Chain A
Amino acid sequence: MRLHSEKKKRRGCAFLAVLLSVCALAGCGKTTGDTTGEDSSQAGNEGAASFAPTGSGAKGRFVESDVSFPEEVTQIRCIGTRADGGVTVLADGTDAEKTWLFTADNAGGDWTAQEVELSLADSWVSGAAAAPDGSVWLSGSFADTDAARVKKINPDGSVEEKIPGMPEVKERDANNVITQMGIDTAGRIFVLDLNGDVLKMNPETGECAERIECGGEYVHYFGIAGEKLIMISESGIHVSDTATGTALPEDVVLSELIAADSSLKSSDTEGVFPLVFTAGMEPGSIIHADRSGIYCHQDNATVNEQLVSGDLNSIGSLNLVQIAMAGEEDFLIFGKDATGSKVLRFCYDKDVSALPETELTIYALEDSALLRQAVGIYQKENSGVFVTIKIGMTEKDGVTAEDAVAALNTEIMAGNAPDVIILDGLPADSYMEKGLLADISGIVAEVEQTDGLFTNVKNAYEKDGAIYGMPVRFFPVVVFGMEDAVRAGETVTGYADYIERAAAENPEKQVVYDLPARGVLWTLYRADSAKWIKGDGTLYEERLTEYLTAAKKIYDTGMDKSERRFYTRFDNVLYGTSGAGASYVMDGEVLSCYGTMVDLVGLEILLAAAEKTGGDYGILGGEQTKSFVPHLQVGISNASDVQEAAEAFLKILLGKECGSIDQNGFPVNRAGWAAVCEEKIKMYGSESTISISSTDENGQERGYMMNDLSQEETDKLAVLLESLTVPSLTDAVIEEVIIAQGEAYLKDEISLQDAVAAIRQKISIYLAE
């Protein structure tokens, strides 16, 4: 080797030095880099809760329980803290047409009920707040008059009425109404109006004249903690003094919270809020709650202490309305979920360990409200178990299914398999083959014995007497239209031909409820995919070709591909598209529609449309494939060391209580199904018809009449559901490939042959591996 001159050597050293300094820089950059990373993980769903007392030996934790009210109570309206530390709850019962004011000295105490001289049946309550003197204020329109009113309900049950004096609505021709109410610890009343202004109300006259400045911005919602008015607008949080109305210095904790998660800025649903506030025991401290838990921070503090973790409790599955302190250290939370409104109590128990000893991990590829509710139910019965839900694909991080599955498999390999696996989208067969899943047939049999199951679904998952994974929900893809449409819809191809013919006969008209390319493919995939894969793991190409051809025919009947799409966006989420489509059929805008039917509300709309148009509904592909879409397929890891807890959770998920929730598909549990039906049959009580109006994606108002369901109709649906024998494909990797290629074909980017060839190639390799 040639020796280098001195100069060159030096250059080499200098070069090395540069290299090393880059290293050093990298080391320095570490701090900044890591912080951003942590932020993102905290914002995500996976972050395990950070508790104030860490270490497994620490004792003391808030334990959740339901506050139970008499049977007649169907709806909670408002909760609040009195000046003496007691709590007030306003609730009413639709059937009884009665309203009660419940009071208690502390959260755990006995409730005394005071009947109120006001029925809230047929009224619309837009805002409610409890005052420190024990009275409750309601705003809205009440049965006696259509105009907006404010009612003050005194602790003795008497009611006073005020006429709210509201400013004019800006730039719109509408009557101004109160959309939210709040009362501070001194009894000052604040309301939010349609202009997005927070106004102070004169409790004597009802006049709302004094406007609280919020940097000139539209206020999405507000909260009150002690004598602080917390207003949330697009730019973030603004805190004002309730006594003077002047702005207070920035609250660093809250500002950071909002900055980290913009979804906290506003709520999609009326009457529920991403953040709720109340005052803590120490003067000036603010307690706030969101889905991730209950937190407390002192005035001017920069640290936020978590009191209650949303992961450990059912707050995680609740839409929050109000929070109130009860006694010295307990909380009441008022929120809503699919089962209705409820009040949860959080009592500090210094004897239970801070972190539950048993940890149960649940994995799901996609988040599910139903799953979170099931966790809530489970958690109430098993407060000694720490439940963590891990979500593989969240909207935020934009991970593909393939990556998420890869990540999960890495975890499994590393011996960190989740205890309960929601198999939707995962390669369930491969897991079974590799012996990752435990046989759950014992639990299934147990549930079947007590509640009964849709055996057609169970049988589809039984292999040699063992069940390694099974859905707790399932739903069909239905077709709606005149009789010929329904008959044609017995096969997907037949339906496509029918649509094509109808489009030719009605050149001026949109014939089928129009979905974007992904939507068409997504829906038909669910109706048709069950029989695409041969026993030896290869693909039936003809069937795939038929599917794509059918999708293309239907897609091509769309009037104008750029504008006249009813749906501008179509996320691959569970969505009862048949119901949405049926409302267009009802209005005569389209002749037929198809889509998933995921709850009884969907059935109601179809029946309403049937009554108006004389049409009917049936299962799409009901003759050919007879497939159902499985949802929330549960499996238990063989390697789980908390086998019992996992089984208990499975029982909850498969059980009647969880099954009685009418969303995300129909319950496999028969008792749950019966409960769902019963609920719907008697839902509207004496009046069997109700008019519903909603605003569609294009801002168009549409209304229709819906009748109560009858036993016959639910029975008819049950028979249809029982006829479905095979689950549609759920492997997300396969679906991603097929829909991506299909979309290109539908949009004329590639030919049918190319699309099929590309799918065959990728899928056949995937299946062969």
Chain B
Amino acid sequence: MNKKRKRILICIPLCAAAVFAVSPVLFLLTGTFMGTREIASYIGPVLGEDEGFAVWRLMPLYPTLANVVELLLDSPEFFHMFWNTAKITCGVLAGQLLFGTPAAWGLARYAFPGKKKIYMCYILLMMMPFQVTMLSEYLVLDAMGLLDTLWAVILPGAFSTFPPFIMYRFFCGIPESLIEAARVDGAGEIMIFFKIGIPVGSSGIISAMVLQFLECQSMIEQPSVFLKTKRLWPLALYLPEIGLKEAGFALCASFVALIPAICIFLSGQEYLEQGIAATAIKE
């Protein structure tokens, strides 16, 4: 009995924290289906149009799709930026699959001169905040003439060292016996990578991709520095530009921007957790 009460006691703050963590998503969800007028009446004080303080409702009083319709049908700008985000994300992920995965495999499974140094480089770069490498990246992109193109955001992302690090941890976990057995069977090294490395390490690859996907969704610094032309901007730069006056529209846009990330999160939560755990723990 005592134990049960104790557990409930633990549960209450845990649940409260959980509600708290999720609340922004709920807020966006409600806001999406509220009319512009209704929102304005709640947040009037913030806009300086009303006395008192802003309030909010859990459910819209007059649910409407007006903002959704406006967003989906009448704002080509939004769509354009949405696709920019999609293009950046896809480019980065494709680059990681193409270059990051083999690099992680090579580092994890082979011994060669300089391996330790290369590994050190990866770790150190992973640790550095963007601001340290900002100027370096800029100089290279400038020399390549890629500034102000989507490539300026995609390429550095495609070679970022965080995903290979995650994959490395997973590839290390593949038992050597499995690979030896394949070698005995006469499989070539490339064959081993494709037939054993990728399938067995797939959860690691997916984990890395999920983490990188989320990272791409909130990329702010890189595009704001490397992209000058507004029509190349990803959504993340566009959303803060919508003023509070258009709160309904902004909420709706924010929510739509959130959808891909949430979908990936829900379908890949397990991998996400594994990926995160892999950074800390070696099995």
Contacts and interface: CB of A to CB of B under 8 A. Distances in A.
Interface in B160-178: 169-170, 172-174
Interface stretch (A13-21, A376-384, A692-700): A13-21
Nearest to A16: B206
Contacts, number: 88
B79 interface: yes
B83 A411 contact: no
Interface in B216-247: 225, 228-231
Interface string A379-416: 00000000000000000010100000011001101110
Given A1-B283, A2-B283, A414-B147, A9 B202 contact: yes
A40 B225 CA distance: 22
A689 interface: no
B213 A19 contact: yes
Given A13-B202, A41-B231, A30 B87 contact: yes
Contact of B147 (A9, A12, A406, A410): A410
B283 A25 contact: no
Contacts of B142: 413-415
Contacts of A36: 76-77, 79-80, 231
A37 B209 contact: no
A397 B260 contact: no
A740 B202 CA distance: 53
Interface in A17-49: 18-19, 22-23, 25-27, 29-30, 32-33, 36-37, 40-41
Contacts of B205: 16
A4 B203 contact: yes
A747 B204 contact: no
A561 to B, nearest CB: 13
Interface in B56-96: 76-77, 79-80, 83-84, 86-87, 89-90, 93-94
B260 A1 contact: no
B86 A25 contact: yes
B250 to A, nearest CB: 15
Contact of A22 (B90, B147, B174): B90
A1 B90 contact: no
The B interface, classified by DSSP as helix, strand, loop or mixed, is helix
B186 interface: no
A749 interface: yes
Contacts of A410: 147-148, 225, 228
Contact of A18 (B94, B267, B283): B267
B268 A1 contact: no
A31 to B, nearest CB: 10
B124 to A, nearest CB: 24
A544 B264 CA distance: 52
Given A3-B200, A26-B86, A30-B87, A37 B206 contact: no
A397 B233 CA distance: 13
A2 B173 CA distance: 8
A654 B264 CA distance: 61
A581 B215 CA distance: 55
Given A29-B83, A407-B228, A12 B206 contact: yes
A25 B206 CA distance: 20
B206 A15 contact: yes
A415 B148 CA distance: 13
A26 B147 contact: no
B48 interface: yes
A13 B79 CA distance: 28
A29 B86 contact: yes
A1 B204 contact: yes
A30 B93 contact: no
B231 A23 contact: no
B33 to A, nearest CB: 25
Report the contact-size class of chain B (Cβ under 8 Å from the partner).
35 or more
B90 A23 contact: yes
Nearest to A36: B76
Given A37-B231, A414-B142, A26 B83 contact: yes
A12 B83 contact: no
B188 interface: no
B151 interface: no
Interface string B176-211: 000000000000000000000001101111100100
B105 interface: no
B271 interface: yes
A8 interface: yes
A747 B203 CA distance: 58
A411 B79 contact: no
Contacts of A411: 228
Contacts of B230: 397, 399
Contact of B202 (A2, A12, A18, A397): A12
B258 to A, nearest CB: 15
Q: Which of A19, A25, A30 has the most CB of B within 10 A?
A: A19
A33 B80 contact: yes
A541 B79 CA distance: 46
Contacts of A3: 200
Nearest to B77: A36
Given A12-B202, A23-B90, A749 B228 contact: no
B164 to A, nearest CB: 16
Nearest to A39: B76
B267 to A, nearest CB: 6
Q: Which of B77, B142, B169, B230 has the most CB of A within 10 A?
A: B230
A33 B203 CA distance: 34
A27 B278 CA distance: 32
B244 to A, nearest CB: 14
Nearest to B202: A12
A410 B267 CA distance: 40
Contact of A1 (B83, B138, B174): B174
B88 to A, nearest CB: 9
A474 B94 CA distance: 56
A9 B79 contact: no
Nearest to A9: B202
B7 to A, nearest CB: 28
Contacts of A16: 202, 205-206, 209
A21 to B, nearest CB: 10
Given A12-B203, A413-B142, A23 B94 contact: yes
Contact of B48 (A8, A33, A749): A749
Nearest to B87: A26
A442 B173 CA distance: 73
A37 B203 contact: no
A672 B84 CA distance: 51
A36 B74 CA distance: 12
| Among A9, A18, A37, residue most surrounded by chain B Cβ atoms (within 10 Å) | A37
A177 B5 CA distance: 91
A407 B48 CA distance: 32
A415 B147 CA distance: 11
Contacts of A23: 86, 89-90, 93-94
17 contacts: A1-B169, A1-B173, A1-B203, A12-B203, A15-B268, A19-B209, A23-B89, A23-B93, A26-B87, A29-B79, A29-B83, A33-B80, A36-B76, A399-B230, A410-B148, A411-B228, A414-B142
Given A15-B267, A26-B83, A410-B147, 20 more contacts: A1-B203, A3-B200, A8-B203, A9-B202, A15-B206, A15-B271, A25-B86, A26-B87, A26-B90, A30-B83, A36-B76, A36-B80, A36-B231, A37-B231, A397-B230, A410-B225, A410-B228, A411-B228, A413-B138, A414-B148
